[in-house]
Structure 1
Amino acid sequence: ARWVRWRLTGLAAATAVLLLARCWTMKGLPVFMPHLNPAAGAGDAWTRTRTYNYVYALNAALLVLPYKLCYDWSMGSIPLVHEWADWRNLASLLLLLLLVGGASFCVSSRHPLGARQALAMTLGLVILPFLPASNLFFPVGFMLAERVLYLPSMGVCLLIGAHTSQVFSKRAASQVKARSSAGAAADRAEPRARLRSVAQMALPAALGVLIGVGALRTVSRNRDWQSGLRLCEADVRVNPGNAKLHASLADEYVKLGRFGEAEAWFSSALVLQPDHHETWYNFASLLDDLRRLPEAEEGYRRCIALRPDYTRARNNLGVLLASQGRVRESLEHYYAALQARPDLPNERVLNNLGIALLELGQHKQAEEAYNQACARWPVVDHSLEVCNGEEKFLGKRDPVSQQRLGGTSHHTRDRDMVTSAQSMSTRRLCRVV
């Protein structure tokens, strides 16, 4: 049994080292928004405990039978377990009994040593890789994630394989014993041997059914991944309470130019999660592109109220105000964006600030903003677009920028939604990255 202890110790040590290395690389533990993992933000400790235990049971169920698959299990995908009377506590209790039974089997001397060692190794492969995502040591940014089950699934496969091998070995041994028996004793043992043989064949048959169902489920799930729209539609049916999925589906409709459906799904996402700033931002961006400016302005302001340091929303609100001639109001949001996140390049915000200052006749401040924008912008084609305002102001545009830009300067706002959905407007406006 020493080699099993060494292997389990090595597995635990490797898990700890990888966890520490991840924290060191990221310079600390990751920080997540509370809405991504509602259980972590639950005020009642018992509610957190009950919910986490139920999530563990769901993970175990997905390992054995992945009947419900979804690429995002955050937000309202799994309602909190507030009461002990909730039937979901039965699933948690069943998992606890299975784990206690497995641990008892491993330490009991009544069972063969090889079987105990195999079970100990498989339980270690299931449990130890899962610990970093278990919320036991620190909260994670999801309620459940199928990707964290890849390594634990190895333990489940080994467990099923070892148990199936043991069943076949016992069946072969019982057949040899039955053939070596003779006389009346053999006759009396024959019915019991047949019954035992049928029972021993039940597990391989069940295993075959499980493999077949898993193969069919794989084919079905692969079809969902053929397009972003199909994936979002399938996952919204699995987790209708997840506002993030509603917003992602809206983004897919934006890509396809189906703006009415996109607006409906953004609205439903905000009904489910009215405090999700990214949804407000994406919805406002859609309304902005549709030239529904009062509604877009309200959306940007709601986003900023939820997250004041969100530079995308502040920049885009400034662009919107500037397009309506409210240049002095736009300055407030450009300055606020620069102050909120000084760690970001903010080159487009600086470009917009320079244009606004130039329109107000503040040439010295405009030149300073343009200089900062050009210094921070990467040396690629669109750098000339940002520096264009400075060149026009200074009256010394070079021939290359003359050819590429045609002598126009413009406010810029981010063209991409938070979820990387492509914007559908062709106006010469782009938004902060």
Structure 2
Amino acid sequence: SRSQQRPRKNAPLLISLSLLAGSGVGLLAARVYWMGNKPPNFSNSDNPAADSPHLLTRTLTFLHLPAANFWLLLCPDRLSFDWSMDALPLLRTFADWRNFQSLAFYAGLLFLVWYGLRGSPIVEKREANGKSHVTNGKSLTNGHCHHLHTDLGSPGEPGPTKNGTQNGTAKVHHNAPWDSLPPTGNLLMFFLALLTLPFLPATNLLFYVGFVVAERVLYIPSMGFCMLVTVGLRSLYVAVRSRRHRTLLLCSTVGLVLLYGAKTALRNRDWQSEETLYRSGIRVNPAKAWGNLGNVLKNQGKMAEAEGAYRNALHFRGNMADMLYNLLAITEGVGWDSLLNHILVFGPSAAYLNTGIILTSQGDVEEAKRTFLTCSQIPDENLKDPHAHKSSVTSCLYNLGKLLHEQGQQEEALVVYKEAVQKMPRQFAPQSLFNMMGEAYMRLNRLDEAGHWYKESLNAKPDHIPAHLTYGKLLSILGQTAEAEQYFLKAIQLDPTKGNCYMHYGQFLLEQSRPGEAAVMAERAAELDSGEFDVVFNAAHMLRQASLNEKAEKYYFHAAALRPDYPAALMNLGAILHLNGKLQEAEAKYLRALQLRPDDLITQSNLRKLWNIMERQGLRPAAS
């Protein structure tokens, strides 16, 4: 009977769905394991709904997000590289019209599920009470008669009887293969599962995620969506009997494919460069897009345009500390008081944090320390956004500890770092804080505790590059050189464009008496970070230690050009010129270094040695 056959027919579907769901659960479990069996950490701006204290807001917004994602599949008109912050405003009341979008989406989804479970009536033959009989070469359905084309059989086979049947059975001849379809219920259910199951981790149903909308999570669901469209168009083609209507359907389908192809080509143009990508996101997420565009324009030397971009970013979201810092860094005479008043409306802790960052950039370290300390002592009572306040306080403590660490006050820095760990809210990303705690313990030669915090940093963020570098240094000190090298290589693998990674690996290679490999790393680092003084200067040092003096001279010149008034750069440039026999050029660099730092004993000693050589060679010193 049909009731007995249905489970057998559904068995392949159930197996497919089980495999799909099982693989998804396995990948999700692996991801959770790699995150240290902890939920993801993110700021409140990454997923504002998750940080909302109101259950209604969270519920309505999370119910709407799948509908918003489905609309991106259906009509990818507004796309963006980033959907955080206020790109998708929160749904706070039932009166929000977007609730009707959510309702329509879930109603359509339930209809498709019901339709798939009951099977497609278009493609199944109806029997009496909806069933089909063949009589005298005719098909009787609910009392109506339809002529059937019968197969005359192959040579040597029994022909049809007079009543059009063969052995009592009529064979239906299919003129058009599209006119008859296999049952689509199972296909429909599988494609619905392919559309929905991979998207489940992004719904905030299992745990809060660190984004509002992320187009990358639609890659696999889009496959199910495309298959659903295909099944729907094919079923519609079968249902329509008019040739004109079928032609119209085919033309519409071709037009749809061409339209989406044109959209793909236009979107590819947005991805040609960072600048075009960030400009394309302005209408969706103006705060983030303007801020990133400002960084790109600043790197291109377009300071006036960068300033305008930073101001636009602050206009849409005024509490972005990095935008305030960047704006102050490229602007002279910026309205300091107006900037502070601008950010005070977002809470005193954010204002103190931003002020401390700006004071640090200006070199006023003592005032910055007092500002961060004041921020950490602000009570969290009667505040508009207590979650943001706790994040700002933790950031203030982190920055205060970092300043103490740089001044050599490691014990005091550790006290501050531990307070930051105690006050740290759940959404705060702790990897940098944990890594700095490890650095402080390293300076105190408490290596076991340093290793513990480096591991905590990597557990919090397995792809945190600074923790790979610092932990690699620790392993090298402990004599675990093979493991240390793996961490340096992993840091390079995580970001092959970061010169600092090659620099640290090169220093490790030098310590392992592998100067040739170290020199290769040094040159690679200097090429990638040619605008970073520390990287170029250290690269020159490493090349000199590898006895590649000509190449070392090139990078010492480059470092001195980056900081023309830095005595150490000039002294080392003079030393390499001295070694390379360029005595008069070396003398000029030594003298310039002594003008900037007259009491430097190393430069004085090198200069005396240089003059002795010049006298033996009959050269007249410039200072004589």
Question: Per the shorter chain, which TM-score range?
Answer: 0.5 to 0.7
Quick one: which amino acid aligns to residue 19 of structure 1?
A: L
CA deviation map 1:284-316 (0-9, x unaligned):
4434xx5879689979x9999539999xx9787
Quick one: which amino acid aligns to residue 244 of structure 1?
A: K
Q: In structure 1, how many angstroms separate the alpha carbons of the residues matched to 2:75 and 2:86?
A: 22
1:139 has 2:139 as partner: no
Q: Aligned to 1:16, which of 13, 25, 33?
A: 25
Q: Could you tell me whether the CA contact under 8 Å between 2:328 and 2:358 is conserved in 1?
A: no
1:227 has 2:273 as partner: yes
**Structure 1 pair 296–153 and aligned structure 2 pair: CA distance change class (3 A):** same
Q: In structure 2, how many angstroms separate the alpha carbons of the residues matched to 1:328 and 1:279?
A: 21
CA deviation map 1:234-276 (0-9, x unaligned):
2203x1x541112112112212322222222222322322233
Match of 2:477 in 1: none
Q: Could you tell me how far 1:201 is from its partner in structure 2?
A: 4.6
**Structure 1 pair 343–315 and aligned structure 2 pair: CA distance change class (3 A):** farther
Q: Aligned to 1:165, which of 234, 246, 254?
A: 234
Q: Could you tell me whether the CA contact under 8 Å between 2:119 and 2:184 is conserved in 1?
A: no
Q: Could you tell me how far 1:205 is from its partner in structure 2?
A: 3.2
Match of 1:408 in 2: 567
Q: How many residues align?
A: 347
Q: Could you tell me how far 1:329 is from its partner in structure 2?
A: 8.0
**Structure 1 pair 5–201 and aligned structure 2 pair: CA distance change class (3 A):** farther
Q: Could you tell me whether the CA contact under 8 Å between 1:285 and 1:296 is conserved in 2?
A: no
Q: Aligned to 1:37, which of 18, 28, 47?
A: 47
Match of 1:258 in 2: 302
Q: Could you tell me how far 1:104 is from its partner in structure 2?
A: 0.8
Unaligned runs of 5+ in 2: 1-9, 125-181, 372-398, 407-412, 418-432, 444-469, 475-502, 508-520, 523-533, 541-546, 561-565, 570-624
Q: Could you tell me whether the CA contact under 8 Å between 2:369 and 2:403 is conserved in 1?
A: no
1:72 has 2:82 as partner: yes
Q: Could you tell me how far 1:20 is from its partner in structure 2?
A: 0.9
Match of 1:148 in 2: 217
Equivalent position SS for 1:103: helix
Summarize the alignment of residues 249-328 of structure 1 with structure 2, pairs less than 5 Å apart.
Answer: 249-287=293-331, 305-306=349-350, 317-318=359-360, 320-321=362-363
Q: TM-score, length-normalised on structure 2?
A: 0.48
Q: Could you tell me how far 1:10 is from its partner in structure 2?
A: 1.0
Summarize the alignment of residues 46-65 of structure 1 with structure 2, pairs less than 5 Å apart.
Answer: 46-65=56-75
**Structure 1 pair 402–307 and aligned structure 2 pair: CA distance change class (3 A):** farther
- Using the TM superposition, name which of 36-45 and 331-340 deviates more: 331-340
Quick one: which amino acid aligns to residue 263 of structure 2?
A: R
Match of 1:88 in 2: 98
Q: Aligned to 1:126, which of 185, 195, 199?
A: 195
Q: In structure 1, how many angstroms separate the alpha carbons of the residues matched to 2:45 and 2:94?
A: 24
Quick one: which amino acid aligns to residue 80 of structure 1?
A: L
Q: Aligned to 1:205, which of 243, 247, 251?
A: 251
Equivalent position SS for 2:363: helix
Q: Could you tell me whether the CA contact under 8 Å between 1:242 and 1:272 is conserved in 2?
A: yes
- Using the TM superposition, name which of 13-22 and 337-346 deviates more: 337-346
Match of 2:143 in 1: none
CA deviation map 1:322-349 (0-9, x unaligned):
69x98998997621675543514998xx
Q: In structure 2, how many angstroms separate the alpha carbons of the residues matched to 1:125 and 1:75?
A: 29
**Structure 1 pair 213–149 and aligned structure 2 pair: CA distance change class (3 A):** same
Equivalent position SS for 1:249: helix
Q: Could you tell me how far 1:167 is from its partner in structure 2?
A: 3.9
Quick one: which amino acid aligns to residue 10 of structure 1?
A: L
Q: Could you tell me whether the CA contact under 8 Å between 2:88 and 2:212 is conserved in 1?
A: yes
Q: In structure 2, how many angstroms separate the alpha carbons of the residues matched to 1:252 and 1:399?
A: 35
CA deviation map 1:111-147 (0-9, x unaligned):
4482110110100000011111111111222211111
Match of 2:34 in 1: 25
Q: Could you tell me whether the CA contact under 8 Å between 1:297 and 1:320 is conserved in 2?
A: no
Q: In structure 1, how many angstroms separate the alpha carbons of the residues matched to 2:186 and 2:276?
A: 45
CA deviation map 1:407-429 (0-9, x unaligned):
8349xxxxxxxxxxxxxxxxxxx
Q: Identity across aligned pairs (percent)?
A: 26
Q: Could you tell me whether the CA contact under 8 Å between 1:55 and 1:144 is conserved in 2?
A: yes
Q: Could you tell me whether the CA contact under 8 Å between 1:321 and 1:329 is conserved in 2?
A: no
Higher RCO (CA-CA < 8 Å; seq separation 6+) = 1
Match of 2:291 in 1: 247
Q: In structure 2, how many angstroms separate the alpha carbons of the residues matched to 1:64 and 1:80?
A: 22
Name the larger-Rg structure.
2
- Using the TM superposition, name which of 1-10 and 253-262 deviates more: 253-262
- Using the TM superposition, name which of 39-48 and 68-77 deviates more: 39-48
**Structure 1 pair 336–329 and aligned structure 2 pair: CA distance change class (3 A):** farther
Q: Aligned to 1:2, which of 3, 6, 11?
A: 11
Match of 1:413 in 2: none
**Structure 1 pair 296–284 and aligned structure 2 pair: CA distance change class (3 A):** farther
**Structure 1 pair 57–328 and aligned structure 2 pair: CA distance change class (3 A):** closer
Q: Could you tell me whether the CA contact under 8 Å between 2:83 and 2:214 is conserved in 1?
A: yes
Q: TM-score, length-normalised on structure 1?
A: 0.67
Quick one: which amino acid aligns to residue 77 of structure 1?
A: A
CA deviation map 1:46-78 (0-9, x unaligned):
222222222211211111221111111111111
CA deviation map 1:339-397 (0-9, x unaligned):
543514998xx99xxxxxxxxxxxxxxxxxxxx9xx78821754795799xxxxxxxxx
Q: Aligned to 2:435, which of 340, 343, 359?
A: 343
**Structure 1 pair 296–13 and aligned structure 2 pair: CA distance change class (3 A):** farther
CA RMSD in angstroms, aligned pairs only: 4.4
Equivalent position SS for 1:40: coil
Q: In structure 1, how many angstroms separate the alpha carbons of the residues matched to 2:274 and 2:338?
A: 26
Q: In structure 2, how many angstroms separate the alpha carbons of the residues matched to 1:346 and 1:297?
A: 35
Match of 2:108 in 1: 98
Summarize the alignment of residues 334-413 of structure 1 with structure 2, pairs less than 5 Å apart.
Answer: 334-335=403-404, 339=414, 340=417, 341=433, 343-344=435-436, 378=504, 379=507, 381=522, 382=534, 385=537, 404=556, 408-409=567-568
Equivalent position SS for 1:93: helix
Match of 1:414 in 2: none
Unaligned runs of 5+ in 1: 172-192, 352-371, 389-397, 411-433
Match of 1:114 in 2: 183
Equivalent position SS for 1:70: coil
Quick one: which amino acid aligns to residue 23 of structure 1?
A: V
Quick one: which amino acid aligns to residue 145 of structure 1?
A: A
